Amino acid sequence: MSAPTTTARLQDDGTGIDQARTPLADLLREEVAAAARWTVPGHMGGRCAPVEALDLLGTRVHAADLWPDQALFTDALLASEELAAQAWGADRAFLLTAGATSGNLAWIFATLQPGDTVVVDSACHVSVLTGLALRAGVRPVWIQRDIDAELGIPLPIDPAVLARVLREHPEARQVVVTSPTYSGTASPLATLADLTHAAGAVLYVDAAWAPHGRWVPGGALDPMAAGADGAVVSLHKTGAALSGAAVLQVGAGLGGHLRRQLVRTVEGLRSTSPLLPVLVSSDLARAAMATAGADGLRRAEELADDLRARCDRVPGVRVLRRDDAGTGPSLLADPMKLVLDVQGTGHTGFAVQRLLRAGGAIVEGADLQRLYLVLPAWVPPGRYPGDLSAQLAAHEALVRAFDAAVAIPPSRGAGLRLSPTVWAASRGRQVMAPAQARAAATVDVPLHEAAGRVAAEHAAPYPPGVPVWVPGEEITEAAVTIVRDVLAAGGEIHGPSDVTGATVAVLT
Ligand SMILES: Cc1ncc(COP(=O)(O)O)c(C=O)c1O
């Protein structure tokens, strides 16, 4: 399939492309009207679905999950992708139904070849690690992120560090960074793009957390405006789309060969039976966000301020704000991520998360000291604040659950903190490429005996999901300490096949 250009397919009358258009939703409206079908999926629009599935998921979900006319679908998908490209300032966009995960994998498979060196942000998501481990012969060089001594969250990438790494590795073909991070740290993307391009490499930004970034004033969360060659956003994270919805974006600078490779790879990796409700929800979410623009985000921020003010009044809970960050505005730059320091409650973040859940309030994530709440980036116009009573009632429910939680005596692991020094020492020497380590013979050893061995799998406390070791790297004492402390306090480590964390797979 050749890459159509936005202006060729969508008629721009000079006043701009109409972002209110929703080609996939229009197609679905036509298709659901058909009286009968004999196509996949076999639930036949819900007529042959288990009654429990209809009760729980609703008849509309089944009716919308259909296989449309192929030619009409291809046309509608391309038109919707062109609108998405225009909305996010990209040259080309792909709508994905398996999350930013599939965007990261497609990007790595398409743009890196065996023997390539790639500079990778240590705050990368597990999907990037998986891509690197599966792409044989690719050699990652890591940019280690320090954490803020006071707030304990990852600092932005220092351009001087990237410049040094690129000087030391003039063969590097690509730079992959995460911005914003899970905790909302933005890196100076325009400067990173300039440095990367000057070194003859391409810049890819995993912006999964900021589908709203395009409309945040100042451009700190807008990879395409910064000159990135590729980026991905998870439209389901703070946008209004269904789970799995993501947009892979291609910048104008990505050349012909790599671009063709990307088109082929995305086509190859996407299912031949995509979940239409997810694509339609992407179409509608894009239209909603792009037409509301900065106004929509302002309403979302007002709602966020209401929640911040309420959390501020809970004893022992501290709302982290951009102004608290001694290192400048790039920490906590994502307005849609609410980070609460709960050390003052005498509990770990993990314990408060569990207590809140018992009280009926569910938050996105927790670590030793903090809770992370995702806020909705799109607030319907004309409906604020009256019709948002349900959202405001949820704010009250959270505060009630908090009040009950902080009244409970201190919990196991309270007071444990991630030390910046231990963190800085956590990554070990890279002994071999991840793909080579992944294919090697392994043995499981107890966690306390893992230091000094070469890792076969990665391990990342989640959140923030930043690995403390990756396949092919020597495991350090500091990394073992971090894993032990997080597990002791009831947290999660992603990566090891032994999910209890008691043993670690290392090379024989
Ligand atoms: C930085 C980052 N990138 C990518 C992903 C994957 O996103 P998705 O769940 O849309 O596959 C995540 C998920 O949390 C993430 O934190």
Q: What is the pLDDT of residues 242-275, one digit of tens each?
A: 999 999 999 999 988 999 999 999 999 988 899 9
Task: Give me the mean pLDDT over the 120-133 stretch.
Answer: 92
Identify the residue whose C-alpha is closest to ligand 1 atom 1: 125
Nearest partner of 86 among 188, 214, 208, judged by Cα: 214
* Residue spans of alpha helices (H) in 88-222: 99-111, 126-134, 159-168, 189-198
Nearest partner of 102 among 274, 260, 229, 224, judged by Cα: 274
pLDDT one-digit tens code per residue, 187-219: 999 999 999 999 999 999 999 999 999 999 889
Angle, CA 432 vertex, CA 428 and CA 435 arms, to 5°: 115
Of ligand 1's listed atoms, the one at least distance from the Cα of 178 is: 1
Of ligand 1's listed atoms, the one at least distance from the Cα of 103 is: 11
pLDDT at 29: 95
Q: Which of 223-232, 322-331, 349-358, 440-449 has the lowest mean pLDDT?
A: 322-331
Distance CA 430, CA 120 (A): 13
Instruction: Give me ligand 1 centre to Cα 280, in Å.
Output: 20
Instruction: Give me ligand 1 centre to Cα 365, in Å.
Output: 13
Identify the residue whose C-alpha is closest to ligand 1 atom 9: 99
Query: Which of 232, 237, 282 is the pocket-test mutation for ligand 1 (most atoms within 8 Å of CB)?
Result: 237
Query: Which of 209, 282, 494 is the pocket-test mutation for ligand 1 (most atoms within 8 Å of CB)?
Result: 209
pLDDT at 410: 78
pLDDT at 299: 85
Distance CA 256, CA 407 (A): 61
pLDDT at residue 1 is higher than 50: no
pLDDT at 12: 57
Question: Between the CA of residue 187 and those of 156, 205, 221, 320, 425, what are the distances in Å?
Answer: 5, 10, 8, 18, 22
Task: Give me the mean pLDDT over the 337-350 stretch.
Answer: 92
Confidence of residue 2 (pLDDT cuts 50, 70, 90): very low
What is the percentage of the chain residues whose pLDDT exceeds 90? 66
pLDDT at 234: 98
pLDDT at residue 13 is higher than 70: no
Of ligand 1's listed atoms, the one at least distance from the Cα of 465 is: 16
Instruction: Give me ligand 1 centre to Cα 364, in Å.
Output: 13
Instruction: Give me ligand 1 centre to Cα 99, in Å.
Output: 7
Query: Which of 124, 127, 232, 247 is the pocket-test mutation for ligand 1 (most atoms within 8 Å of CB)?
Result: 127
Query: Which of 94, 95, 96, 101 is the pocket-test mutation for ligand 1 (most atoms within 8 Å of CB)?
Result: 101
Q: pTM of the full predicted structure?
A: 0.93
Distance CA 97, CA 246 (A): 6
Confidence of residue 118 (pLDDT cuts 50, 70, 90): very high
DSSP of 44-80: GGGTTS-HHHHHHH-HHHHHH-----HHHHHHHHHHH
Distance CA 226, CA 232 (A): 14
Distance CA 408, CA 251 (A): 51
pLDDT at residue 393 is higher than 90: no
Task: Give me the mean pLDDT over the 90-96 stretch.
Answer: 97
Query: Which of 105, 121, 128, 206 is the pocket-test mutation for ligand 1 (most atoms within 8 Å of CB)?
Result: 206
Pocket around ligand 1 at a 6 A CB cut-off: 99-101, 125, 127, 178, 182, 206, 208, 234, 246, 465
pLDDT at 403: 87
Confidence of residue 3 (pLDDT cuts 50, 70, 90): very low
pLDDT at residue 104 is higher than 70: yes
Angle, CA 454 vertex, CA 467 and CA 472 arms, to 5°: 60
Distance CA 233, CA 398 (A): 28
Question: Between the CA of residue 253 and those of 84, 97, 173, 228, 304, what are the distances in Å?
Answer: 18, 25, 14, 8, 36
Beta 337-341 vs 230-234: how paired, if at all? unpaired
pLDDT one-digit tens code per residue, 150-171: 887 889 999 999 999 999 999 9
pLDDT at 71: 95
Instruction: Give me ligand 1 centre to Cα 179, in Å.
Output: 11
Instruction: Give me ligand 1 centre to Cα 12, in Å.
Output: 33
Task: Give me the mean pLDDT over the 227-232 stretch.
Answer: 98
Instruction: Give me ligand 1 centre to Cα 248, in Å.
Output: 12
pLDDT one-digit tens code per residue, 280-339: 999 999 999 999 888 888 888 888 999 999 999 999 999 998 776 555 668 889 999 999
Is residue 145 within 8 Å of residue 122, measured between CB atoms?
A: yes
Instruction: Give me ligand 1 centre to Cα 33, in Å.
Output: 35
Question: Between the CA of residue 189 and those of 90, 221, 271, what are the distances in Å?
Answer: 15, 8, 32
Identify the residue whose C-alpha is closest to ligand 1 atom 10: 99
Q: Which of 309-323, 353-367, 371-385 has the lowest mean pLDDT?
A: 371-385
Name the average pLDDT for the chain.
90
pLDDT at residue 382 is higher than 70: no
Distance CA 339, CA 321 (A): 8
Angle between helical axes of 159-168 and 189-198 (0-180°, round to 10): 20
pLDDT at 379: 81
Identify the residue whose C-alpha is closest to ligand 1 atom 7: 100
pLDDT at residue 14 is higher than 70: no
Residue partners of 34: CB distance under 8 A and separation at least 6: none
pLDDT at 387: 63
pLDDT one-digit tens code per residue, 477-486: 999 999 998 9
pLDDT one-digit tens code per residue, 21-47: 999 999 999 999 887 888 999 999 999
pLDDT one-digit tens code per residue, 409-435: 877 777 777 778 888 889 999 999 998
Of ligand 1's listed atoms, the one at least distance from the Cα of 102 is: 11
pLDDT at 8: 37
